Amino acid sequence: MSLTVKEKTTVRLMFLGAAGVGKTALIQRFLHDRFEPKHKRTVEELHSIECDTDEAKIRIEIMDTSGSYSFPAMRKLCIRNSDAFALVYSVDDPESFEEVQRLREEILELKEEKDTPIVVVGNKVDLENQRLVLGEDVMPVVELEWNASFLEASANSSENVLGVFGELLRQARVPSRISPALRRRRETIPKDGVPVRKKPPMKKHNSCILAPEKLHQDTSPPRHLP
């Protein structure tokens, strides 16, 4: 049965991919509009934001995974409990796209659903001079053979990051879309340790207002849940 807000008030988006492809960078760019160029190994982290829709209050959970997959049993459990998946590869690393293919097969096997929401993301398009994986080659495979969505993005330059999350939410049947209005969140992001606020501080942590035309999110540090 298709997921709707009326049926479920928590939606989990899971990011999977080889180490170093930029999963954490995409999430951090979306949540805080920042980019850390130095790669740091990620241990599974769950970020959570609350949103208001016309129908209900909904919690959006974003699962950031390690590319090493040191705990396969935990990963399988997370896959079974997730609603939509971002399979991330780097456009300068053909092997990372091979990992995306393997991960897709694992997801379909565990979910046992032909229409499992999957968005394949080619990250690091800012490295165009180093590109080894062409979007024109990947798109037919993803969209025609896999019946999934395909997008390219750059966490570094922020290109199409909102599009990635907007497509994930659409796939998860959240009745809204993300608009560039979210970019205005940087007005309240602390700079050099000094908060710059043009609006009164919000009382809720990691909250947003999800409406048909916009999604506003606060800039408080995300909670890392077990």
Mean pLDDT over the full length of the chain? 77
What does R_g of the chain's alpha carbons equal in angstroms? 17
pLDDT of residue 112: 82
Extract the tokens encoding 204.
Answer: 């809720």
119-140: pLDDT as tens digits: 999 999 999 999 999 999 999 9
pLDDT of 12 reads 94
Q: Assign residue 223 a region: left if phi > 0, alpha if psi is -120 to 50, beta otherwise?
A: beta
Q: Measured between alpha carbons, how far is 141 from 204 in angstroms, rounded to an integer?
A: 42
**What confidence tens digit (pLDDT) does each residue in 30-68 have?**
999 988 877 666 667 889 888 766 666 788 999 998 766
pTM of the model: 0.75
- Domains within the chain, CATH numbers bracketed: 10-217 (3.40.50.300)
135-172 pLDDT, tens digit per residue, is 999 999 999 999 999 999 999 999 999 999 999 988 88
Beta strands in the chain (DSSP E): 10-17, 45-52, 57-64, 84-90, 118-123, 149-152, 207-211, 214-217
Closest residue by Cα to residue 118 from 127, 110, 126 = 110
**Residues, the chain:** 226
pLDDT of residue 50: 82
Q: CA torsion sign, 137 to 157 to 66 to 57? A: negative
- List the beta bridge partners of residue 127: none
Least confident interval from 85-89, 130-134, 207-211: 207-211
Which amino acid makes up residue 222? P
* Helices 23-32/161-171 angle, 10° precision: 90
Comparing CA positions, the residue from 120, 147, 168 lying closest to residue 16 is 120
* CB contact set of 66 (below 8 Å; sequence gap of 6+): 19, 41, 42, 43, 44
What are residue 102's phi and psi, to 5 degrees? -65, -40
